[in-house]
A and B are shown apart, each in its own frame.
Chain A
């Protein structure tokens, strides 16, 4: 009886041909306080492989702080963080850096290096990886990543000469050039017109298909959430308040949840 059950389970997964999804990020009871400001109270969150998880929440609820905890820019006061199944508190510094190298981070502000040209911005992360790249390989990677985001003509410009949408795309290209397995997007479409915002959302989808990345996307943009989300969580008062798919949440009766989807 017992054996039967196992066999049938096995065959089922084989039939569906969808791989067993492992979780790449897991946060347990994460807390973070700045002075008296309790930003994250108790965050529990899971990101599965090849999933797009959209995070919603009012401004100032700590969404940026949340993903900064994942890359180590903010150190949580307590709680556990697992990356690719490894407990980060048990990892040595080098091993941790190695793991974090597989995570790409798109900053809310872009964080472009304004003393460097577009090309140098893209080469910067490459040059600092352990493997040395030759001139040709560098050029190839830079051209490829600019083509990915449709910014080829801007290669010799300075970031200050770019428009808001172009800056976002350059930020994206710079993050993608290291071929991360996890992408964390901090408001990728904020401040853009609806058409450019949609382009960026489609870009996020393309990237996910092309490189099989898993992503966390913070956004206020319903269109972007609708296009990209496999699953949505809403952060409120330092905890993950609601979780569900776009359709479920968007058709919710609850006026508070509904207010995010207007």
Chain B
């Protein structure tokens, strides 16, 4: 079996695995090859993102496409999650006579965890796969090669702009998701009791602290970066064939979603360490 990952005309990895039948060796080495080439592309991203010329126009266009087009979906999801979470939590809190804690509890769970993670998963499904499929189909139809021979830098124009756009847009989307989540929660609270919007939000902001908001926003930057990077990487290095497009989109979503949970796990460790 031969594995070859190319960064256009520069071969990143060319590894020949001899034992064809040894499944363990193959899966194992494939994993490390993937890690290696993903690290290579990450490094290359950081190298190119700081060297001119900058593709501002394309960055803005991609930010618009990535951000604006996911706004409605993420806001609606946030709203529903806030609503459902509130309705579900109410009976438990009522048992302890702590219904007045409902807004605070829901707000903390939305802002700290549910808003960022749910948005990131939706973002991975929509944007990660979109970037993967788009770049893969440009690869199949030789558009990336055509950019290369016309003296453009396709890595900068396609890869860097998309990763940056994803990194910048996800935090903004998460703010929307959180806001709509809290609104959903407000609606749910008002199904049973009457609380004014003003009172509701002052209850929430009493309970939310700096240390709830800032770490979760930092976390989303990493989510966005990972999703953009994995989508772009999968598309950019896809096989030249129509099946390559589907595979790139699919594996982008799977890997990006997994990365979201891994980053989340690391983030929770770091924040709890820092807060002690």
Contact = CB atoms under 8 A, between A and B. Distances in A.
Contact of B9 (A73, A105, A109, A124): A73
Contact of B150 (A35, A72, A115, A128): A128
A107 interface: yes
Interface stretch (B89-97, B102-110, B137-145, B224-232): B137-145
A125 B152 contact: yes
B101 to A, nearest CB: 50
Specify the main secondary structure of chain B where it touches its partner: mixed
B30 interface: no
Interface string B140-180: 01110111111111000100000000000000000000000
Interface string A90-134: 000000010011010101010111110000000011001100000
Contacts of A74: 9
Nearest to B140: A109
A178 B151 contact: yes
B143 A73 contact: no
A35 B8 CA distance: 17
A109 B145 CA distance: 11
B150 A125 contact: yes
B272 interface: no
A74 B152 CA distance: 17
Given A35-B2, A75-B11, A109 B149 contact: no
B151 A101 contact: yes
Question: What bracket does the count of chain B residues touching chain A fall in?
Answer: 20 to 34
A258 to B, nearest CB: 33
Interface string B28-72: 000000000000000000000000000000000000000000000
Interface in B1-23: 2, 8-11
B151 A125 contact: yes
B152 A111 contact: no
Contact of A124 (B145, B148, B152, B153): B152
A71 interface: yes
Contact of A111 (B2, B10, B143): B143
A103 B157 CA distance: 21
B274 to A, nearest CB: 43
Given A107-B142, A109-B141, A71 B149 contact: yes
A129 B151 CA distance: 7
Contacts of B9: 72-75
Interface in A31-62: 35
5 contacts: A72-B148, A75-B11, A111-B145, A125-B152, A128-B153
Interface of A: 35, 68, 71-75, 97, 100-101, 103, 105, 107, 109, 111-115, 124-125, 128-129, 174-175, 178
Given A111-B146, A113-B147, A124-B152, 11 more contacts: A68-B145, A72-B9, A75-B10, A100-B149, A100-B151, A105-B149, A111-B142, A111-B143, A128-B150, A128-B153, A174-B150
